[in-house]
Structure 1
């Protein structure tokens, strides 16, 4: 399969490109800088520019592009970057795909989204049919997903990857927590009652490959594990795996002082379930948090299934 991919330089994209190539796919990366070889094509999503010939012979498009959400304080400027980097890249790809002759269009567009779509769900479990929430990230997800519509209207299979919290020692949720937990300074966030929709990196990669191959699946898909846990349980399990205590509490007020508006996302409860994946028969390698943390902390090789 020939795959045109955007946003592949980050933590998830780098690993996904590796495992897709390992299974025999050809991955051509879209880059903003001058290309460094035949496996790269330059584009300018902020200007809406992509040469349609980049899609020649492409079987599927994967778009993971977007500025980091939790790596900077949420100034007005960074919030604009979070939104624009996602919407511009998605809109550019979707419009370009829709502008091709039907016979030249790729079979699928797998476009990143996030469980931020749901806002705060409290203790209520939600699947893909739940409405969007009303927080900043929920609004971003609304316009982000809406930007795929030209491709969908043109008859292309569009999958919206509502990703949860991937677990791996090299990035995502775990990496910034390992040092404080190893120093015995880890602890729950606020009340610790908020639900966390985690997924092992291995399962995230396998799920994307599964969705790439399943021509019968389209629309929003929650790419999360089947057993979300409360933050207090996550804290206890991570501390136990690292053989360290975790008796501290990071108060909500302290998080807001440290992180500003983003603290609201860290304290938000999201009991998100993988409805589409489970109905489609996807098998999780790590269906519970202990097995996912064992995989993440022991650097078990990740595969795409």
Structure 2
């Protein structure tokens, strides 16, 4: 499929901002659905179209694709019952609104890429997981499951639905990596808990390129793992990040300390993990620019050298 006009939710976030820039640089027309239209217009790119009501998109305006990334960040503070409900509602309500809008359109988009996360698989230790794997129950699975079910409601409307299950997205201006840099630079980085838990990660540039790829490949639908092909243990992640920053990684953070400081986010996300592989994307021919963690972190922290490498 060749697409030109794209509607996004979550366009002001860590991934969404970079995706907007990517789309604009590839001559796409981008509509961003946001609750804070006026603030967004001041902060974001003036070439995007911002709407706080989907009905503001003209009925005869063609929209080829929708990318749904909206949702309260899971790293928004200690997980109270109320905050966990906000995680669910922020994802479900926006996705439901998008599907209802699609249903009302006379000319419907061909594809919906809807965000999800590898938390769908639950806690499975070192078991190798691809898109055919079953899930273990827990809050992360429940959250992702209800989110995905809302998106799948677009399928009977004739829309191809891709459920993008992302891992840990890496770039230094946001996401988990931004919060890790200072402790590591101070020499306080180290393994977290046992360090044996797997972290499945992806460079933000590769994730954005993967979304572009998924929009164009009509044969792909359903769950797709948005992770790099080489997941690593948390201890390996910590030591590799230390080498990229030229800092020691000698001071570990015991599990009870992480739980005390961070709360359930630590036990659910950081101290557990999933060993996930992007089978659908790789089998369909997607090529990762940052397949290994070493290459990824080198590209993030040494961009001049990475640019020379890419050009060669």
**Category of TM-score, reference length = shorter chain:** over 0.9
SS in 2 for 1:249: coil
Deviations 1:225-277 (A, max 9, x none): 00000001011111111111101111111111111211212111200000101
Which of 276, 280, 291 pairs up with 1:276?
280
Kindly state the Cα deviation for residue 217 of structure 1 after the two structures are TM-superposed: 1.1
1:165 maps to 168
Is 1:287 the counterpart of 2:291? The answer is yes
In structure 2, stretches of 5+ residues that fail to align are none
Is 1:126 the counterpart of 2:136? The answer is no
1:46 maps to none
Kindly state the Cα deviation for residue 54 of structure 1 after the two structures are TM-superposed: 5.2
2:51 maps to 41
Q: Distance in 1 between matches of 2:166 and 2:221?
A: 15
Aligned length: 294
SS in 2 for 1:110: strand
Is 1:26 the counterpart of 2:29? The answer is yes
Q: Structure 2 matches for 1:129-148, cutoff 5 A?
A: 129-148=132-151
Q: Distance in 2 between matches of 1:54 and 1:135?
A: 41
1:70 maps to 75
SS in 1 for 2:133: coil
TM-score after normalising by structure 1: 0.92
Checking the alignment, whether the CA contact within 8 Å between 1:132 and 1:142 is kept in structure 2 is: no
Kindly state the Cα deviation for residue 53 of structure 1 after the two structures are TM-superposed: 4.4
In structure 1, stretches of 5+ residues that fail to align are 44-49
Kindly state the Cα deviation for residue 33 of structure 1 after the two structures are TM-superposed: 3.0
Q: Distance in 1 between matches of 2:108 and 2:153?
A: 12
TM-score after normalising by structure 2: 0.90
1:2–1:283 CA distance, 2 compared to 1 (3 A)? same
1:230 maps to 233
1:15–1:182 CA distance, 2 compared to 1 (3 A)? same
1:132–1:54 CA distance, 2 compared to 1 (3 A)? farther
SS in 2 for 1:93: helix
1:251 maps to 254
2:224 maps to 221
Is 1:298 the counterpart of 2:302? The answer is yes
Q: Distance in 1 between matches of 2:182 and 2:36?
A: 34
Runs of 4+ that moved beyond 6 A: none
Kindly state the Cα deviation for residue 298 of structure 1 after the two structures are TM-superposed: 2.6
